Each structure stands twice: as structure tokens, then as C-alpha cells.
Homo-oligomer: A and B are copies of this chain.
Amino acid sequence: MSLITPPLEPGRKHVIVIGGGFAGLTAAKELARSASLYVTLLDQRNHHLFQPLLYQVATAGLRPSDVAVPIRAQFTGVPNVSVHLAQVRQVNLQERWVEAGEDGREVRVGYDYLVLACGAQHSYFGRNDWEPFAPGLKTLEQATEIRRRILSAFELAENELDPERQRALLNFVVVGGGPTGVELAGAIADIARTVLVRDFRRINPFSARVVLVEAGPRLLPAFSEELSQRATRDLMELGVEVRTSARVTGVDAEGVQLGDERIVARSVFWGAGVEAARLTRVLGVELDRAGRVKVTGDLSIPGFPEAFAVGDVAHIEVEGQVIPGLAPAAIQSGKLAARNITRSVEGKPREAFRYRDKGSMATIGKHRAIAQTGALKLTGFIAWLAWLFIHVLYLIGFKNRVTVFLEWTWSYLFSKRGARLITQQDWRT
């Protein structure tokens, strides 16, 4: 296998960025501003995903293309960035190369600097056999699969003659009381009660049962106790059953086991745990329990000052506090790693990472939310407006901003959903 590098002009340094999420994309854009760098951005998907809105794709509120943009198109006219659709198989920090590509056709590419930004995935806490029955919500494919399962459940229930099977089809269990679980559960309850309720003849979608299961004592532990209570109340008003201090001990095709209790449900969705992308395991460096790379104050990997880890794949501690896996943290860390590379190339000292907490938000159903920034706490409709404004603002691409805004206006005015398509996995006739 040959080691290749892009045709670099003399004096130019080669930076490999792995991952086109918030952290990687921000890093690549920042790095591209330096004419003395050439950036190779690798991602196993061709699109950057705006993950905070993914639950809306899963619940037929937005279309996949509303929340995703081609990574390649972000660098149109930027000559010193090259984007490659490639799965990274191996990273050798000692010899400074990355191996990517399909089986038997791997290619090794050397680097001067590395930015590891390959993100996180759902963790089933060692029970990966639950995944087929309880998909998580991290990729567009998973969102489309969850959408297919939700909409198909109502369709199958409409056809079902056996009342018991019909009830199982109209039971939905969401595991995990963090923002993903809360938003997903709220949106399922909402779609059943406001959108689908008019369109069925035999079943009443209003009777759908949505159960949100959280192992800890309360929902949304990252928020204040008060906001967490408010979110719980809002969810219950939407008809969601909230089960805290309830640990899932089994998941299968027919439902969920909570210790001795059985919840029969044909649809189970997983938003419980996250762990770093599997790639971290090949690095041979210190990881935390979630598989994240522990980094130094300048975000480089200990012992490898030219290699950085940022975003959800990094375990970043500032003054004893672990930085949360949120989009603003990913953007800030991606930016600082890029700046530190530029500063190193320019012979300047590096900067330490400082986290500006932009707060957290979560929506509950159609027009309620909770939001918290420092001492400021918002709830209800006002919080929802703030959520809406910030999410439209931070969406990448002018066009996505316009279409998402139109889509939301439309759905707000008419209680319709723009993306109620069930598409099969197999395209063959």
C-alpha cells in the first residue's frame, strides 16, 4: 500500500479532518482561510447533518434535505480543501497517516496535522442486539427508518382486525429522557393527536400511547429541576406517559421489559446513551468510559501535539467540568483546534480552550419548549419561539433556512406534515 499525499505546493502543510459534523466542518472552514494549509476532509457520508432537527425528520415534520447539506458544496470555489466520501479504517498517530477506503482498496494518506471529529453514536450499554428493535436517531437513514416505523404502525393498526395486536401497534416507547427522547416522544404524541387524527377511519390515532422511559430520577438532567418539571408536565399534557427511575432490562420485537413490568409495543426508539465513534479504539490513546479521546487544554491528543480531537469524539475538561456534547461546544472546539494549527504553522503559541456556554433547549410537542442560559430560563411558547429562531438561524445554507421556515409556517397554520412518506428499504420491484 502506498502512502499518498495531495500535490502540495512547497511550504504547504497537509491537514486531514475526519468528520463533517459541526466540529469538523467548522475546523475545515477555519483552516481553509490559511493559504499555507491544504485540507483533506473525510466523511463516510456526503452530507453535513443538522442533528438538532433530526427528530423532526423522524416525525415527518421536515424532509431529509431540509436538515442536510452536501459537505462538498460547502467548499465550492475553495481551492485548498478537498472533500472525500470515505470510511476511515485506521489512524496511525506515530507515523502520521490515515487509512481509508473500501475493503481491499484502502489508501493511506499522510498528514502534518490531524483533526479527529468523527462524532458519537448511540450506545446500547453492551446490548447491541437491541438495536434492530430500537433504532437510535443519529443519522438520516435512522430518521427515515423511525419515520417509516411510526407511519407504518398507524397504517398496520388501521388494517388490523385483532384488538390486542392493534393496541400493540399503537404503543410507542421512547427510551431515554434527554433532549432526543423528550423531543421524539413529544412529536409522536403531537403527530398522532393533531395530524393523523383526521385521516383514519377504523382507528383513532388519538388513542396512541406514547411512553417515555428514563433510568434516572428526572427528565432532562442537564436542565434545572424547575425546567425539568415543567417539561414533564408539558409532555403529560400532550398525553405522553413519563416513567422516570425505570431501567430498561430487555427489548425485543414485541416490546420493552422494565424489570418485572412488560410494555407491549411494536415501536421502540432509542435515545438513551451515547458513545464516541468506534474509530477512537484504534488510536491507542487514553479514552474515557464513553470511548472519547481525552485531550489537553489546547485540544491536542496527549503526546501528539499535531493531532487534535474535537466535538463529541473528544473528552474536554475545562476547570474540572466536562464539556457537554452540544452543537455550540462542537463548533467552538473545532474552531479552536483549527486556530491552534494555524498558530503552530505561523510559529505562534497555542491557545487553551475556553467554553462559552450558550445554554440548552428542548422542544416539547408543537409549540412549547424549555430553554436555559446561565440564569435565564424560558418555558412554553416564548421558549419555543426562541428555539425556532435560533435553529433557523444556525441552519447551514440560506435555502435550508427558507425551506425549513416555510415548512414550519405551513405546519403551524394547517397542522399538516410535509414528509409523511413511507419508503421501503429495498428498491427492487
Chain A residues within CB distance 8 Å of chain B: 4, 45-47, 63-65, 68, 70, 72-73, 75-77, 79, 82-86, 101, 107, 121-122, 131-132, 135-136, 138-142, 144-145, 151-152, 155-156, 158-159, 161, 198-202, 399, 403, 406, 410, 416, 418-429
Contact = CB atoms under 8 A, between A and B. Distances in A.
Contacts of A419: 65
Contact of A423 (B136, B141, B152, B403): B141
Nearest to A420: B70
A201 B152 CA distance: 42
A4 B161 CA distance: 10
A426 B425 contact: yes
B420 A46 contact: yes
A85 B423 contact: no
7 contacts: A70-B421, A82-B201, A83-B201, A132-B428, A139-B427, A141-B423, A141-B427
A71 to B, nearest CB: 10
A47 B298 CA distance: 52
Nearest to A162: B105
A225 B47 CA distance: 44
A159 B422 CA distance: 33
Given A86-B159, A421-B65, A421-B70, A426 B202 contact: no
Given A46-B155, A47-B420, A399-B410, 20 more contacts: A47-B422, A63-B65, A65-B419, A70-B420, A70-B421, A72-B199, A73-B416, A76-B198, A79-B201, A82-B201, A84-B159, A101-B159, A135-B427, A135-B428, A139-B429, A141-B427, A142-B427, A399-B418, A403-B406, A425-B427
Contacts of A427: 135, 139, 141-142, 144-145, 425
